[in-house]
Amino acid sequence: MIATGIVVEYNPFHNGHLFHLQEAKRQTDADTIIAVMSGNFLQRGEPAIVDKWTRTRMALAGGADLVIELPYAFATAHAPQFAKGAIQLLDALYCSYFCFGSEEGSIAPFTNSLTLISTQQQLYESAIKEAMREGISYPNALRKGYEAISHDTSIDLADLSEPNNILGFHYMQAANDIHSSMIPLTIERIGTHYHDPALPADSVASATSIRKSIFTNESAEDVQPFMPPTSYRLLKNWEDLNGFQSWDALYPLLRYSILREEPERLTEIADIREGIEFSFFRAAKEQTTFQGFMQAVKSKRYTWTSIQRMLVHILTGYRKATREQITDPSYIRLLGMTESGRCYLRSIKKQLPLPLVSRVASLSDPSLLMDIKSTDIYMSGIQSPAPTLGQDYRTPPIFV
């Protein structure tokens, strides 16, 4: 049986995701699509608008056969760590291929870039260090390093100023690092540009523009044309029950936790460094909205995303001491499966290098405890009705 892996957030699952999933299946002739999906907090340092079980249902309805949770420790990390967690899980699940969406659309430029960096490692790294010393953000420093080694070459390289190309590059690098036998494959992203916030007239829109439409119009109705029917129905159900989750909704909890911790204790939180805790503390005292808070703390040294990631870690109480305990994925957390996914799992079950977790109570692991905790905190921010916590303990894998 052939399994193809994809790495997803599905925030929410839309027609572009459906296209990618179907193409990945078609191009690899896969029997099984395995989606490694982030839990309730995402790579850009944001809560997902609907919870991980709703998004699991969307994924299964859209054609995924197995949905595996990318643990919090990787899902909310910068690109190299995010990619490492996702690729290691897909490799552990014996995928023959992994397939990612990119602006580039073909795999050769990525391979060329990887080769170039590995042969010019020293120049690359010293250019990055140099740029960091000048006080620019990490992603920009990476770009500088890349420019330093690529400016006078004529080979076809991946354009690493594009967000999906960057992730794709890190998937390839992570696969390389573990000598994975998985074959990489990329599909060009269709529809609007990733960051384009305007809804286009046809049937594909980015998740970013879909979320923007939802929050601007305070309703999900306008985004119906851009989502598969089941996905849209699940989105509406969640909205009716809980309202969409967002930083705006979670800000009172974030603000409270910053005030309660005070600057001194904030430094124990993952990613907090170089005095930014004082800026957070001041802003929490003064700002009554999340947008106001972000405007008050933004700086040249950090990207918006990296600040949001710090804030997610403050919100969930994710500490440096906990992060140091988590280097590689240590379990395979099953969120959902189809009959075909179940067959595939049965066929590889005995050779799995990591424990397969269907019930979280069966394993005590710092990374898994962090997944459970972050779910509870995600739900704590839901206003109506009184949130039910401990869902990770009560929710069995979804089977459709």
Annotated binding site for ATP: 7-20, 101, 164, 189-190
List binding-site positions: 7-20, 101, 164, 189-190
Task: State both tokens at 78.
Answer: 């910068």
Closer to its own copies by Cβ: residue 17 or 255: 255
Q: Residue 352 CB: number of other CB atoms within 10 A?
A: 14
Closer to its own copies by Cβ: residue 80 or 263: 263
Among the listed residues 216, 289, 291, 327, the single contact to its own copies using CB under 8 A: 289
Closer to its own copies by Cβ: residue 135 or 252: 252
Q: Residue count of the chain, please give it.
A: 400
Give me the least distance between CB of 254 and its own copies, in Å please. 10
Provide the b/e sequence for 267-300 (b: ≥16 CB within 10 Å): eebbbbeeebbeebbebbeebeebeebbeebeee
Give me the least distance between CB of 55 and its own copies, in Å please. 22
Give the number of residues in contact with its own copies, rule: CB under 8 A.
Answer: 27
Pick the closest to residue 4 from 184, 141, 258, 257 (CA basis).
184
Give me the least distance between CB of 385 and its own copies, in Å please. 9
CA dist list (Å): 204 to 26, 50, 196 = 19, 20, 12
How many Å apart are CA 259 and CA 236, to the nearest integer?
A: 35
Residue 255 interacts with its own copies (CB under 8 A)? Answer: yes
| Distance between first and last Cα of the chain | 20
Pick the closest to residue 67 from 50, 87, 79, 53 (CA basis).
53
Give me the least distance between CB of 51 and its own copies, in Å please. 16
Closer to its own copies by Cβ: residue 137 or 375: 375
Give me the least distance between CB of 312 and its own copies, in Å please. 12
Residue 189 interacts with its own copies (CB under 8 A)? Answer: no
Closer to its own copies by Cβ: residue 265 or 301: 265
Closer to its own copies by Cβ: residue 108 or 259: 259
Assess contact for 61 and 228: CB atoms under 8 A. yes
Chain residues 260-279 in contact with its own copies, contact rule CB under 8 A: 260-262, 265
Among the listed residues 129, 285, 300, 359, the single contact to its own copies using CB under 8 A: 285
How many Å apart are CA 234 and CA 50, to the nearest integer?
A: 9
How many Å apart are CA 223 and CA 220, to the nearest integer?
A: 6
Closer to its own copies by Cβ: residue 199 or 377: 377
Question: Judged by CB under 8 A, which stretch of 5-13, 150-158, 304-312, 370-378 contacts its own copies?
Answer: 370-378
Q: If you search the block for the tokens 């008050």, which residue do you land on?
A: 296
136: left (phi over 0), alpha (psi -120 to 50) or beta: beta
Task: Tell me 47's DSSP state.
Answer: B
Give me the least distance between CB of 259 and its own copies, in Å please. 5
Give me the least distance between CB of 378 and its own copies, in Å please. 11
Residue 316 interacts with its own copies (CB under 8 A)? Answer: yes
- Binding positions for its own copies, rule: CB under 8 A: 252-253, 255-257, 259-262, 265, 284-286, 288-289, 315-317, 373, 376-377, 380, 386-390
